[in-house]
Amino acid sequence: MALEYTYTNLEKAEKQKQSFYAFLPGAFSWGILLGFGVCSFIRPVWAILILIIFDFYWVLFLLHTFLLFWGSKCCPRKKKAVGAQEDPVHVVFIPVGTESAENLETRLESLHRQEMAHARIFVFFALSNQASDKLRKIVWDFHRNTAHAFAATYIFPCEAHPPGTYGMGADLNATAHMATHVFELRKIPEEQILVTCLGPESCLAPGFLTCLADTFLDCPDRHACGFRPQIQFPQNFWEDPKHAPVWNFGSALLMIFDRIHPYNPGSFCPQSLSFKALRSVGFWPEGFQSTDGALYWKAFLHFSGKYKIIPLKTGQPLVADSTPQAGRGIRKTFARNYEWASGMENFPVLMRLLRRQSNLFLIFRIWLAGRLIVQQVSNSIWALFFVLLGWLPGIATALGFYSGSTTYLAPQILLSLGLISTVGFLLTFILCCALLPKPAQKMPFAYWGKKIFAGLLLPIVLPWCSCVPLLVTQSRLMFGRDRSNK
């Protein structure tokens, strides 16, 4: 079944479905938030019970995340079979657009540090028309540098795109078509080519390509799979003399959950895949800023739900531009996460196409649609529930909104609520700290006390930098205002 992953040039019926599915997440999110706020004062006991149920769900979700995270770390790596085929050729696509020079240099430096033999690595730059002169100079200096000993480096100057549209997918596709001719001239079979897109959000751990090659060769259905590393933070914010990394750390929790859980419609889920698989799905979807997430769902639909994500026993450090301290840091982090939140624009496209997938069982489609909606809504409101709305039942109690026998039960209910919330917060904090690099050296108690105090800023960062960008994006989609074609 030919399904085009796009939201443009739709027929009237498809456009109406697109608008309906774009309206759903925002309607659910705002309905729950406003409904809970009203319920806290009209039916306080109901509100407390709802909050306890939500907190209990969050605790179970965190426990599930713990099991997935530690299970992926404890699972031993398979040994390469005797007589296995030759190691694959690695092709790294590097889109260069409007990021900072520091960001690009960090990505290129991670490519230099790869343990894989550089002679088996091809590098293709998708040089956007919007790239600054400084970025262009870095790219051309890298291309002229013969000391890196890569198999070859190519630069593809991409055409300008209409104002207000996202052109990374189109830039990557144009570069990939050029790469196709290169491989044909060099007589490299596409089955032996592994593709990795090194976008502005991440760089490569030193052993990434080596681990990717081993996992790829061990996978029996390798041409219908994506290979995703675990997210890592290149710097532990405890060791940083400033508190700026706290903003990056606190606002990136949703990215962590995107990586750990499958079937997640988040915008931050890059994966490597074979060039054969990439070509069979029609390369990257165009017009979306979240090209990685859109590529995953395009492949998922193309393979009728059989496209799997194989976790890698290696990390992919998160790269973020320098963030200032205090209020400016929060504002900059909010603006960056607002751009990342555009991954929600994949949701209505996916829902519209999912209902037409007759190759999938109806029950599975219903389950997947429900799970996607739950993830959309919970990602947008969970921190608001913990940090802000959780106080409303207590305020209602203080104002005397309880009556009768429920007055005597209110302290016990609030105590249970506080215990569950505390467990949820501790699990969240422990899980996040497990993903941070360990400190390079022992620190004095006073230093740790200062950093723990800085860590208490996380409850401020979580709602503002994680939930609010998603809510704003959902609200725009409710009224048909996506940022890809404004």
CATH of residue 171's domain is 3.90.550.10
Whether the predicted pLDDT of 199 surpasses 60: yes
Whether the predicted pLDDT of 247 surpasses 50: no
339 and 382 share one domain: no
203 and 337 share one domain: yes
CA distance 338 to 329: 14
Least confident of 45-54, 130-139, 184-193, 281-290: 45-54
338 and 427 share one domain: no
| Residue 368 falls inside a structural domain | yes
280 and 309 share one domain: yes
233-245: pLDDT as tens digits? 555 444 554 444 4
446 and 397 share one domain: yes
Residue 327 CA, distance from chain mean position: 25
β-pairing, 193-197 vs 225-232, is unpaired
CA distance 314 to 205: 7
Where b means 16+ CB within 10 Å and e means fewer, 444-470 reads eeeeeeebeebbeebeebbbbbbbbbb
Least confident of 11-15, 88-92, 243-247: 243-247
Of the three residues 346, 380, 403, the one that is the final residue of a domain is 346
CB count in 10 Å sphere of residue 379: 25
Whether the predicted pLDDT of 112 surpasses 70: yes
298 and 169 in contact (C-beta within 8 Å)? Answer: no
Residue 12, both tokens: 């009237």
Residue 460, both tokens: 């401020």
- Please state whether 328 falls in left (phi above 0), alpha (psi between -120 and 50) or beta: alpha
Residues of the domain holding 392: 12-71+358-478
157 and 271 share one domain: yes
Of the three residues 313, 346, 379, the one that is the final residue of a domain is 346
CA distance 239 to 217: 38
> Greatest CA span in the chain, whole angstroms?
83
CA distance 183 to 172: 16
Position 107 confidence tier, pLDDT thresholds 50, 70, 90: confident
311 and 408 share one domain: no
Q: What is the mean pLDDT of the chain?
A: 76
304 and 433 share one domain: no
**Number of separate domains in the chain:** 2
Query: Which positions ≥6 away from 179 have C-beta within 8 Å?
Result: 91, 93, 122, 124, 154
End-to-end CA distance of the chain: 30
362 and 342 share one domain: no
Residue 91: its pLDDT value, please?
Answer: 92
Higher pLDDT, 212 or 48: 212
296 and 415 share one domain: no
β-pairing, 225-232 vs 121-127, is unpaired
148 and 238 share one domain: yes
Average confidence (pLDDT) over 339-352: 80
270 and 202 share one domain: yes
Whether the predicted pLDDT of 436 surpasses 70: no
The DSSP element (H or E) to which 124 belongs, if any, is strand 121-127
The DSSP element (H or E) to which 420 belongs, if any, is helix 406-434
Whether the predicted pLDDT of 110 surpasses 60: yes
